[in-house]
Amino acid sequence: VRGTHLWTRRVIKSSFGGIRNVAVTGVKEMDAGLNEAKELAQQAMVAEAKKMGADSIIGVRIDVVEMSNGVFCVNTTGTAVK
């Protein structure tokens, strides 16, 4: 079974006279956002397992991949068992 959730950090870009300024949220906000994305991905995985009639999930793996600048994909995979 698997669950996926996308999360993006807030990136504000502006250009002034050829100079680009980028304001990014802090590390605490990024950590909290990615943890929330992990929880939501796990909830999606559990929901899929319940639809299959599983009692539990074993061998859970969580992958976090930055798909593009500031866009993260959290994937959870595991084996649903009865």
Residue with tokens 């999606």: 44
Tokens of 52: 């299959």
- Using one digit for the tens of pLDDT, what is the confidence trace for 9-67? 765 555 554 445 455 567 788 888 899 999 999 999 999 999 999 999 999 999 999 98
**Given this model, what pLDDT does residue 78 score?**
97
Environment class of residue 49 by beta-carbon count within 10 Å: exposed (0-12), middle (13-18) or buried (19+)? Answer: buried
Alpha helices (H) along the chain: 27-51
**Given this model, what pLDDT does residue 33 score?**
87
**Helices and strands in the chain, H and E counts:** 1, 5
**Given this model, what pLDDT does residue 19 score?**
44
Q: Whole-angstrom Cα distance, residue 68 to residue 82?
A: 38
**Given this model, what pLDDT does residue 24 score?**
54
**Given this model, what pLDDT does residue 25 score?**
60
Q: Whole-angstrom Cα distance, residue 64 to residue 36?
A: 12
